[in-house]
A and B are shown apart, each in its own frame.
Chain A
């Protein structure tokens, strides 16, 4: 069963625009991770945020976590065509690494 649920399911934007996607989950977590998947490179880890953190940045990525609402958001700024991919949130309940993924947000960035 999927723990996380991403919203929206699909997102289409133009290069240079920002993309925001949200993830909601059901049970308490130790950490939450975001991954990207495209046909060329498979699943790639983007960022990990611990349950005691509220915000984290990595390059053009910004992740927030609100454990009281059991939700997280991923913002990609100044998007590029190469950002076209599916983005998944994954929750880890106890840091053992048993990740529970959502169904993903499909992002298309057009030049």
Chain B
């Protein structure tokens, strides 16, 4: 399967712990996006990369959140000192550059903070 993959699929953590999610985009896609989705809502943009450069971050992304895309391949999203409000589905998507192009979404990582 050559789609977008995300790991883990589910994560349960206690408040105050750090968590890290991984996204592997479609190999030829230069752009990679992170979104967050809560129940009953559409996805909300968090940040995006063009190759290894992080070009934009949403105001939703507090200082506790950091994302990287070393070497322009996979990406990680880390949340430090998790809070209950961080509980959500974290979605990763990728697309070709020089768009506009459709985005291909991964299955998501569901985070539950207890």
Q: CB-CB < 8 A to B72: which residues of A?
A: none
B contact residues, total (Cβ < 8 Å): 25
Known: A43-B91, A96-B48, A98-B48. A90 touches B104 (CB 8 A): no
In the complex, A18 has a CB within 8 A of chain B: no
Known: A48-B102, A97-B95, A98-B56. A42 touches B107 (CB 8 A): yes
Q: Are A101 and B44 in contact (CB under 8 A)?
A: yes
Interface size class of A (residues with CB under 8 A): 20 to 34
Question: Of A43, A97, A101, A103, which is within 8 A of B100 by CB?
Answer: A97
Question: Of A43, A92, A104, which is within 8 A of B105 by CB?
Answer: A43
Binding site for B on A (CB under 8 A): 2, 4, 30-31, 33, 35, 42-45, 48, 50, 88, 90, 92, 95-104
